[in-house]
Amino acid sequence: MCGIAGIASYAPVQDSISLWSGIQQTLKKRGPDQDGIYRNTYTTLAHTRLSVVDLENGIQPMIFAEGDAEFVLVYNGELYNTAQLRTELEHRGHTFKGHSDTEVLLHSYMEWKSACVHRLNGIFAFAVWENHNRRLFIARDRIGVKPFFYTHKQEQFLFSSEIKGLLAHPLVEPKIDAFSIAELVLIGPGRTPGYGVFCGIEELPPAHCGYFDKENGLKLIQYWKMEDKPHTDSFPQTVETVRNLITDAITRQLVSDVPVGCFLSGGVDSSAISSVAGRYFREQGKQLHTFSVYYKDNAQHFQKSRFQPDSDDAFIGQMVGFLGSKHHSIVLETADLVDALEAAVDARDLPGMADIDASLLLFCKEVKNTVTVALSGECADEIFGGYPWYRDDEILMQNGFPWMQNTREGFLKPEIAEWVNASSYAQKRYEKTIERTHALAHCTPHERRMKEMVNLNIDWFMQTLLDRKDRMSMYNGLEVRVPFCDYRIVEYLYSVPWEMKNYRNREKGLLREALRGLLPDAVLWRKKSPYPKTHNPAYLAAVSDKLSEIIANPASPILQYIRKEALENLLKSENLIPWYGQLMTKPQTIAYFLQINYWLSKLFKIS
């Protein structure tokens, strides 16, 4: 993976090389191994590289010149059908210097131009400058795994993998308004698709691409979306197809010229990936490295709940024995979790999922000591129906985002709440997503509702998790791949009836049946448990003390926007409804407001 940034302009670009070296430096954690800058009269493209495939020949920006035509590529991501594309391009007369997917992507664009995106299987965000046409092409992968932020001001288009890259350019001021605060409080830690929270900053939506040039300005199109189709496969055929798609996606994503490992939580998703990866490594005479996160003293404080019925420890142990992997248990200290809340904001450029972010940040730092690439299980719950809100009829049928069942407007200062129409802020976004849901005309109301849930989860909840995974891992120079985000799996599952997905009346029943034989039965049929978090009361005490200090200081920037009384009530609350799904309960909600205050302090340069 890498960091990319650039500018394209109708008029000559006046930026200095030192300015772009500085912008490049903000993305250095994403690509610590190599960097490069391409400049001409109307554009500058910058790249920082995390070397994973073809270490010698994958250097960027990558340039291809032939006659009067010159194409320049900066690219962040991985292609998983590189071999197939390369073969087809060679048949069309293309020749290659190395075996990197970067070179294949550049030649794919040269051959098919914007239509190349329909042929790509992977996670990507990239830009191609056509010097001979003075136009810039941009694209982002179908699911939105890799980030692409931009700002478009009159004659100039500026982009970056992360918001911090944009803010390093004088064209972009770090400004916020009432809607920025509303987004953090009424939607956060999620984000409205395409909205960058800072004024004037947007994100290229998943499955979008387009051109920026003098003749047409910025023109974007959506090149892919989930569409319902008749599902004619029998249940056994569906099980076989799902199994084949999953094993193929995992196997494709194990290709690397640097060490690869797997996150292992003991849940079905990460265990399935580790099982396929373990077999792949054994066939090569190698041993798979697996990694699990633990929290100090968690065992003595763990309490069963509706969302977390059992601890992961025993299941991790079973999987390690089953896999024969070289396992790494990474134990996080409570104090380190608290301290890492600020670094997690630095990584995300926004307040995030509190210690859910911070723990992953610390975890990835340790994982990077052993491997450069890791595979993780995101996306399975969204497409197979694993979350509680797919199965709880009361939550399922409610009119609003199912992972947000709390009332948030009361945290905002009244003038802000009134300005942004807080009572309908989230509802309008929910309704817009529902309206976009595609379902066949003969769908039953329940089947349509399940497709609406898939859209809601993929467009919103999953994007928060993908943001988290990308920023926390890349902050440590670790590439994390997500096989369940293979668009072929998403496409196929969208049209599979809920009755099949709900096989044996179990969450992700279809997935479990498809994985039969790949996992021990105890792991295969265990009840879903979310990402592990600390249960140590010392964490709640620590973040509560910090928030109390902030509340007591009239100069705290958060008090300009958030009602002091609401924060005080949060500290006193005994039975707070989860802030965001099953992951963010009272300790994480308190920590989230700590992150907001820190983010505002950075924004206003308050020390």
Give catalytic residues, as residue numbers.
2
User: Which one-letter DSSP state was computed for residue 200?
Assistant: T
For 93, left (φ over 0), alpha (ψ -120 to 50), or beta?
left
Contacts of 496 (CB under 8 A, 6+ apart): 231, 238, 510
Residue 236 to residue 120: CA distance in whole angstroms: 29
| Cβ-contact 13, 23 below 8 angstroms | no
CB 355 within 8 A of CB 319: no
Residues 6+ apart with CB under 8 A from 112: 119
| 3-state percent breakdown (helix, strand, coil) of the chain, nearest 5 | 45, 20, 35
Looking at residue 171, the DSSP 8-state letter turns out to be: T
Which of left, alpha, beta for 204 (phi over 0: left; psi -120 to 50: alpha)? Answer: beta
**Alpha-carbon distances, residue 445 vs 22, 79, 268, 452 (angstroms):** 54, 38, 30, 10
Cα-based torsion angle of the residue sequence 495, 497, 503, 506 in order, rounded to the nearest 10 degrees: 80
Q: How far, in Å, CA of 524 to CA of 521, rounded? A: 5
How far, in Å, CA of 60 to CA of 65, rounded?
14
CA distance 451 to 186: 24
> What is the 8-class DSSP label of residue 349?
S
Contact 568, 394 (CB under 8 A): no
Phi, psi of 264 (to 5 degrees): -135, 110
* Cα(600)–Cα(351) distance, integer angstroms: 10
In this structure, are strands 156-160 and 149-153 parallel, antiparallel, or unpaired? Answer: antiparallel
The first and second tokens of residue 506, run together, are 């179990």
Q: Are strands 260-263 and 289-295 parallel, antiparallel or unpaired?
A: parallel
Please enumerate in sequence order all residues whose Cβ is within 8 A of that of 428, keeping only pairs 6 or more positions apart, or say none.
Answer: none
Where do runs of H (alpha helix) occur along 196-333?
235-252, 268-283, 298-301, 313-323
302 C-beta neighbours (distance < 10 Å), count: 18
